[in-house]
Chains A and B, each alone.
Chain A
Amino acid sequence: MNTILKASVFVCVCLWPVYGAVDYTKFSHSTPKHKSACNTCHKIPTKDWTKASAFPDITDYPDHDACVSCHRPQFFRGARPPICSVCHVKTSPRDEARFAFRNPASKLQFTIEFPHDRHQDVIALRQTNAWRSNLLAHAAPQQNFNNCTLCHAPALAVATPPAGGWLDSYAPPAATFKAAPSDHSSCFSCHWKSQEPVATNCNGCHKLAAPYTAAAMPTRISLKFMHDGGGEKKQHVAECTTCHINITKSATLRGLKPDVPITSCTECHNKDGLRQDLNTELAALDKNRAFTCVYCHTSNVGKLDAPASHYLIAQRPPLKRRDIK
């Protein structure tokens, strides 16, 4: 018995630095004890939401009670308890300042479950006025061409450059991308109560995931295409499904690919008497197999073999660069 006890103590002492040391500066929703009902900690809406939001929302971190109920020892450990730094800018009892909620510097812990098709079903109508679009934070009044603009207004902010800077020094203007809802305003306006998943049913939309950092901008094959572009007449502004032909199929955001067939582009960009942008670049490629297609693409894409679909539009058999003499 004594031997077993000693062995257990030995194992515990040896393994403590590996398995027992908890970093209380990091909060994880994956910790088993943190997986209870969301409203155990988050009050919906936050008590003083009017100070921070135009609509009832979760605008701040949970009160101390939520942590102290289990973490009393960590709360009162020394003059600067590490656990305070989860929410507070300074770990000092004299400073209440907290990080923005949610802290933009911390990794995301949830993905969003969103039945895209069902939302298209119920709001699928050409909109005639702007107020509903303005539900979106920061959404400026703009052309409400159809229902998609309810959630996907033109992005107003320029995308953050990736680490290492923009490829080919091409910084996509704000008009390149559409925005997607980034807060609760566009959800709660319908799902506040009674329409499930309601505001108190966090798990209805937020699914626990391995921590991740959201992409700064969508992945694009044709980075130089601008949604709000198309010359002075903004000829790119069309009904979204004109180009995004698969978008009404998607029942979820997972694997949702806003893929656009090249025919959507070449209706104008490779048409006799109009423009010959594709043919021009294929001709340049014929002359120089190292040619990089730059009209639509940055060089990471433009130096690849032109896909068969491009040659099909030009009514030519597909070619690989290595086969070009």
Chain B
Amino acid sequence: MNRLLLVLIALLLVLPTTISHSQTQDTPARQSGVVRLRARVKLTDSAPLRGLARKRFFLIPGSLEQNRALVDAIERQPLVTRDCYYTKNSASPALIAWLKEADCESVYCRDVEQDFIAGPKVVPEFATAFAASEKEFGNAATARKWLTTNVPANLRDGFYRDRKGAIDALLKQATQSTAVQSVMTDRNGTAFFTDLAPGTYVITNLVPTEVGQTLATWNCELQIKTDDLAAEKAYLISNRKDRLVKCVAIEKPAPPCQ
């Protein structure tokens, strides 16, 4: 009797799983859309258009109107440039120049080569960190590889963390914050949003991107129609108007450092 009961319970537990699996296999795959985002910018009017590399963009379900609170918050947020952040945090001009040279937000973004630890191109923060690392790890090779472990937090990645904090706070105001997609552009300024259901979306960079001497913010509405599901939908954004450009950035001059 007891054994029969156990078998019944086991069947009850197993049956729904089996049914749901067979249903999943028989259901045709849901068609979804793909947006091929291309971000191309001009640093000045006379400069050529170039891909906006390594920048994060967000695709937020809902229209601009439905995400009004978010869009207002994006437009209201204080603008702080990378140079101003690092200047305010007493970074040396050499460190600011090192970051700027490769458009880096933090010290993690590129190698700290020997030239920047000693010699005419020395970055004082790196030289100090290297000396501390050498003392701590006992050899020059590890000291250089692990140099960033001895750079103060505010100069190491404070700017990135501030921006990440601002992004996280803004995303909470999106109408469907859990359905937000985020992608980063490649070196040509291209990125893909995939698995999109038909509907209206807002495409945005949430926090302004430094483009030359200006800060560019994109907040545009994008429609995915049923017809768009068969092939990828190209979507060009820029800081200059053009017939192919679907979304033009609102540019503001970089504010002076306070």
Task: Determine if A129 and B111 form an interchain contact, defined as CB atoms under 8 angstroms apart.
Answer: yes
Task: Determine if B182 and A117 form an interchain contact, defined as CB atoms under 8 angstroms apart.
Answer: yes
Asked if B56 lies at the interface with its beta carbon under 8 angstroms from chain A, I say yes
Task: Determine if A241 and B146 form an interchain contact, defined as CB atoms under 8 angstroms apart.
Answer: no
Task: Determine if A195 and B111 form an interchain contact, defined as CB atoms under 8 angstroms apart.
Answer: no
A56 to B164, CA, bound (A): 30
* CB-CB nearest in chain A for B182: A249
Task: Determine if A54 and B194 form an interchain contact, defined as CB atoms under 8 angstroms apart.
Answer: no
Task: Determine if B56 and A129 form an interchain contact, defined as CB atoms under 8 angstroms apart.
Answer: no
Question: How far in angstroms is the closest Cβ of chain B from A167?
Answer: 22
On whether A245 and B194 interact (CB within 8 A), knowing A54-B142, A146-B187, A195-B149, the answer reads yes
Task: Determine if A195 and B153 form an interchain contact, defined as CB atoms under 8 angstroms apart.
Answer: yes
Task: Determine if B145 and A312 form an interchain contact, defined as CB atoms under 8 angstroms apart.
Answer: no
Counting chain B residues whose Cβ lies within 8 A of the other chain, the interface size class is 35 or more
On whether A190 and B148 interact (CB within 8 A), knowing A55-B137, A248-B191, A312-B230, the answer reads yes
A193 to B136, CA, bound (A): 12
Question: Which of A122, A123, A308 is most buried by chain B, counting CB atoms within 10 A of its CB?
Answer: A122
Asked if A220 lies at the interface with its beta carbon under 8 angstroms from chain B, I say no
Asked if B131 lies at the interface with its beta carbon under 8 angstroms from chain A, I say no
Considering the complex, which residues of chain B in the window 107-122 have a beta carbon less than 8 Å from any beta carbon of chain A?
108-111, 113
Asked if B181 lies at the interface with its beta carbon under 8 angstroms from chain A, I say yes
Cβ of A50: which chain B residues have Cβ within 8 Å of it?
Answer: 138
* CB-CB nearest in chain A for B156: A195
Question: How far in angstroms is the closest Cβ of chain B from A175?
Answer: 23
Task: Determine if B149 and A123 form an interchain contact, defined as CB atoms under 8 angstroms apart.
Answer: no
Asked if B1 lies at the interface with its beta carbon under 8 angstroms from chain A, I say no
Contact of B109 among A122, A131, A308, A312 (CB under 8 A): A122
| A: number of interface residues (CB 8 Å) | 39
Asked if B85 lies at the interface with its beta carbon under 8 angstroms from chain A, I say no
Asked if B91 lies at the interface with its beta carbon under 8 angstroms from chain A, I say no
Asked if A268 lies at the interface with its beta carbon under 8 angstroms from chain B, I say no
Interface locus among B8-16, B98-106, B214-222, B248-256:
B98-106
Task: Determine if B184 and A120 form an interchain contact, defined as CB atoms under 8 angstroms apart.
Answer: yes
> Would you give the 0/1 interface string for B141-166, flagging 1 where the beta carbon is closer than 8 Å to chain A?
11011101100010011001000100
Task: Determine if B149 and A122 form an interchain contact, defined as CB atoms under 8 angstroms apart.
Answer: no
Cβ of A245: which chain B residues have Cβ within 8 Å of it?
Answer: 191-192, 194
A120 to B164, CA, bound (A): 13
> Would you give the 0/1 interface string for A49-63, flagging 1 where the beta carbon is closer than 8 Å to chain B?
010001110000000
Considering the complex, which residues of chain A in the window 173-206 have a beta carbon less than 8 Å from any beta carbon of chain B?
188-195
Contact of A125 among B104, B137, B191 (CB under 8 A): B104
A120 to B184, CA, bound (A): 8
Task: Determine if A55 and B146 form an interchain contact, defined as CB atoms under 8 angstroms apart.
Answer: yes
Asked if B233 lies at the interface with its beta carbon under 8 angstroms from chain A, I say no
A102 to B208, CA, bound (A): 46
Question: How far in angstroms is the closest Cβ of chain A from B79?
Answer: 20
Cβ of B108: which chain A residues have Cβ within 8 Å of it?
Answer: 122-123, 190
Cβ of B232: which chain A residues have Cβ within 8 Å of it?
Answer: 263
Task: Determine if A249 and B181 form an interchain contact, defined as CB atoms under 8 angstroms apart.
Answer: yes
Question: Which of A120, A146, A194 is most buried by chain B, counting CB atoms within 10 A of its CB?
Answer: A194
Cβ of B56: which chain A residues have Cβ within 8 Å of it?
Answer: 121, 248
Task: Determine if B102 and A125 form an interchain contact, defined as CB atoms under 8 angstroms apart.
Answer: yes
Asked if B240 lies at the interface with its beta carbon under 8 angstroms from chain A, I say no
Cβ of B186: which chain A residues have Cβ within 8 Å of it?
Answer: 146, 239, 241-242
Task: Determine if B149 and A192 form an interchain contact, defined as CB atoms under 8 angstroms apart.
Answer: yes
Asked if A160 lies at the interface with its beta carbon under 8 angstroms from chain B, I say no
Cβ of A117: which chain B residues have Cβ within 8 Å of it?
Answer: 182, 184
The residues of B with any CB-CB pair to A shorter than 8 Å are 29, 34, 54, 56, 102-106, 108-111, 113, 137-138, 141-142, 144-146, 148-149, 153, 156-157, 160, 164, 181-184, 186-188, 190-192, 194, 230, 232
Q: Could you list some 9 contacts between A and B, CB below 8 A?
A: A50-B138, A55-B146, A122-B109, A125-B109, A131-B144, A188-B146, A189-B145, A189-B146, A190-B108
Besides A189-B148, A249-B183, 20 other A-B contacts (C-beta < 8 A): A54-B141, A55-B145, A120-B184, A121-B164, A122-B106, A122-B160, A124-B54, A125-B102, A125-B104, A126-B187, A132-B145, A146-B186, A189-B145, A189-B146, A190-B149, A193-B149, A245-B194, A246-B192, A248-B183, A261-B34
